[in-house]
Amino acid sequence: MIDLQMLRNHENKVREGLGKRKVDSEKINLIIQLDQQKRAFRRETEILQAELNQASKKMGELIRNGHSAEDLKQSLKGLSNKIQDKEKDLAQLEELLQSMMYEIPNLPDDSVPEGLGESDNIEIRRVGVLPDFNFTPRSHDELGKLNDMLDFERGVKLAGNKFIVLKKDASYYSRSLMNLMLDTAIERGYWEISPPFVCLGSSLVGTGQLPKFEEDLYKIENEDLYLVPTGEVPLVNLFRDEVFLEDQLPLKVTAYTPCFRKEAGAAGKESKGLIRLHQFDKVELVCFSHPEKSFDMLENLTLDAEAVLQKLKLPYRVMLLCTGDMSGFSTSKTYDIEVWFPSLNKYVEISSCSNCTDFQARRAQIRYKDQQGKNHLLHTLNGSGLAIGRCLAALMENCQRADGSIAWPDVLK
């Protein structure tokens, strides 16, 4: 959630930033109007409360001096009723204003390039050498069928479209990838966490999935529980409503979770096989940072995610997303890490590393106490370290042989 005080004090700057993220200006107008009404109602309530206090004091004096206070008592009752009505209206206004604020994405950082879409992203670096096959490379879903590793038909039989059964080498190396990713994160200073794979609605509000993206979530019927859409949700909310000491920052946590999302993207080559599923496995990296150091931490977080690809010797590139392609609702700046897929002859996203600044911390009330004892909102960052299914698919394609077998990296054995 953006800072309402910033909107009051720097309206033009906020409008400009949100305009780059295609936020309707009428929505901003309504928020400003509701905020003005809320503050006016609060002032009116404070005036009425002061009148009530003064009248109560006067009635006490009359009673102590033996005078009748019936007329004043009726006046007090009328003032009390007015205050109750104002407080009720104020509560409704505050609820409406908060619901509107929950619909507003984070402001893009000044270093984020303005653009309309993917073509306006900026390439930061390329790492690794693209494979040079003397044969036509197969796609990972073809390789999966050829090696009896990916069972799409039984996945559909068990759970429907966009679910899959991993078998034999695919299942084994998926587990090996999870271990490699977690071990790499631990080497780089992360605590490993094993969280629940379901979460409360309040946790999804804290990280920004609710209320705006509810249709993408799997909800458990008749309970305030959802299947985790990303490990970011339980990891960030570990410290919801808590206060760090300043010298505890930065704190870095990692976890493996299966992830569940209803939205599976458009059909086509880029959504085949393991690339886009309703259920997928991921290792998540989350950092809690001092605000002054969070953008430096974003650079380090991105390197932490890249470290796995370097161990696997997979070719990849890092892209700085423009405002028009920055789909993360809570993010202020995002790097996408894209791994090479020979069958598509292109790079495909395998991780997004983002600085959410104080956006999630404000929603989830995660703070730190400075040396003077004053509380401040900290900054949260997150990134995939990595998406296991896409990593498995990239390995299958980049490490394939002419006969369809796969030369799995020794680091996974």
Query: Could you report the per-residue pLDDT of 160-208, keeping only the tens digit for each?
Result: 999 999 999 999 999 999 999 999 999 999 999 999 999 999 999 999 9
Q: Are 42 and 175 in a shared domain?
A: no
Q: What is the pLDDT of residue 60?
A: 73
Q: Are 202 and 348 in a shared domain?
A: yes
Q: Are 217 and 142 in a shared domain?
A: yes
Q: Are 272 and 152 in a shared domain?
A: yes
Q: What is the pLDDT of residue 297?
A: 98
CATH assignment at residue 227:
3.30.930.10
Q: Are 230 and 327 in a shared domain?
A: yes
- Among residues 43, 72, 101, the one where a domain terminates is 101
- Among residues 101, 133, 161, the one where a domain terminates is 101
**What is the rounded CA–CA span in Å between residue 344 and residue 139?**
8
- Among residues 101, 131, 146, the one where a domain terminates is 101
Q: What is the pLDDT of residue 263?
A: 73
Q: Are 132 and 264 in a shared domain?
A: yes
Q: Are 48 and 172 in a shared domain?
A: no
In a domain, 2, yes or no: no
Angle between helix 70-101 and 25-64 (nearest 10): 160
In a domain, 9, yes or no: no
Q: What is the pLDDT of residue 268?
A: 58
Q: Are 31 and 129 in a shared domain?
A: no
Q: Are 70 and 125 in a shared domain?
A: no
Q: Are 173 and 84 in a shared domain?
A: no
**What is the rounded CA–CA span in Å between residue 215 and residue 219?**
9
Contact by Cβ (8 Å): 233, 239: no
User: Could you say which DSSP state residue 166 is in?
Assistant: E
Q: Are 385 and 259 in a shared domain?
A: yes
Q: Can you list the residues of the chain whose pLDDT is less than 70?
A: 62-64, 66-69, 71, 264-270
pLDDT in tens, 215-255: 999 999 999 999 999 999 999 999 999 999 999 999 999 99
**What is the rounded CA–CA span in Å between residue 59 and residue 80?**
14
CATH assignment at residue 60:
1.10.287.40
Q: What is the pLDDT of residue 188?
A: 98
Beta strands in 169-213 (DSSP E): 191-192, 198-200
In a domain, 107, yes or no: no
**What is the rounded CA–CA span in Å between residue 413 and residue 408?**
8
**What is the rounded CA–CA span in Å between residue 25 and residue 15?**
7
In a domain, 16, yes or no: no
In a domain, 406, yes or no: yes
Question: Total domain count for the chain?
Answer: 2
**What is the rounded CA–CA span in Å between residue 218 and residue 209?**
12
In a domain, 283, yes or no: yes
In a domain, 365, yes or no: yes
The alpha carbon of 391 is separated from its chain's Cα centroid by a whole number of angstroms, namely 21
Range of the domain at 269: 118-412
User: Could you say which DSSP state residue 116 is in?
Assistant: S
Q: Return the residue matching tokens 């069958």.
A: 343
Q: Are 73 and 141 in a shared domain?
A: no
Q: Per the structure block, which two tokens stand in for 198?
A: 């379901």
In a domain, 212, yes or no: yes
